[in-house]
Amino acid sequence: NAGVTQTPKFQVLKTGQSMTLQCAQDMNHEYMSWYRQDPGMGLRLIHYSVGAGITDQGEVPNGYNVSRSTTEDFPLRLLSAAPSQTSVYFCASRGPLAGIYNEQFFGPGTRLTVL
Amino acid sequence: RKEVEQDPGPFNVPEGATVAFNCTYSNSASQSFFWYRQDCRKEPKLLMSVYSSGNEDGRFTAQLNRASQYISLLIRDSKLSDSATYLCVVNKGGYQKVTFGTGTKLQVIP
């Protein structure tokens, strides 16, 4: 099992450009999520999905879109990049909500710089 | 008050020392608790869950104090490889109700 994979590992964008961060998992997890991590802020939830076709906003959704057409894939789209979106982005997946101690598995992260 | 608070450190300890971290949480209805470990420029990984009765995994001991609303992590016989940031994670129930602390940095020195 590859677990959670993310591409690209690094990306530099100019202000106003758009791009998609890719995330895939092979654990058949229904729940997937996107976080951003900034110094001194901890991990903050951007968007999440509880299954194919179902997505919802997290704590900091502005400027980002998601879709979930399959169980495996959960891409994150930056619509018009801004310097404030410079961050490290982590995708994660976990098992059913009923298991409150279910582990979250994280991808290796994407380091994004917006100039 | 932040939902989850941790001392950012760094905690600089010699090899073989015992070190303890605390994490306080604000919501008394929180359901489950975890410690994650994050190495520099890597993804967080689950270290251990924290159960009501306390639990141990080798050199690591986790405790939960619901009355005072904090969890703790004790590391005995510190190794150089324990150097990392330790994230406190609190789940209030529901997928969007998982809150991560900002982490406590541990540096174990030879």
CA distance B57 to B36: 14
- Cα angle for residues A37, B7, A33 (degrees, 5° grid): 25
What residues of B are in contact with residue A43 (Cβ under 8 Å)?
44, 87, 100
- What is the band of B31 on the pLDDT scale with cuts at 50, 70, 90? confident
In this complex, is the C-beta atom of B55 within 8 Å of any C-beta atom belonging to chain A?
A: no
Q: What is the pLDDT of residue A41?
A: 84
Q: What is the pLDDT of residue B96?
A: 63
Residue of B45, B91, B101 with shortest CB distance to A42: B101
Average pLDDT value for residue range B82-95: 89
Residue of B43, B91, B98 with shortest CB distance to A106: B43
In this complex, is the C-beta atom of B57 within 8 Å of any C-beta atom belonging to chain A?
A: no
Q: Is the pLDDT of residue B1 over 90?
A: no
CA distance A34 to A49: 9
Pairs of residues, one from chain A and one from chain B, whose beta carbons lie less than 8 Å apart: 49
Q: Which residue has the higher pLDDT, B30 or B6?
A: B6
Average pLDDT value for residue range B97-106: 92
DSSP structure string for B27-79: -TT--EEEEEEE-TTS-EEEEEEE-TT-EEETTEEEEEETTTTEEEEEE-S--
Q: What is the pLDDT of residue B14?
A: 98
Q: What is the pLDDT of residue B83?
A: 98
CA distance B71 to B35: 9
Instruction: List, for chain A, all residue ranges whose pLDDT scores fall below the cut of 70.
Output: 97-98
Q: What is the pLDDT of residue B76?
A: 98
What residues of A are in contact with residue B100 (Cβ under 8 Å)?
35, 42-44
DSSP one-letter code for B3: S
Three state DSSP letters for A14-76: CCCCCEEEEEEECCCCCEEEEEEEECCCEEEEEEEEEECCEEEECCCCCCEEECCCCCCECCE
Q: How many CB atoms lie within 10 A of CB B39?
A: 12
Q: How many CB atoms lie within 10 A of CB A22?
A: 15
Average pLDDT value for residue range B42-64: 95
Average pLDDT, chain B: 94
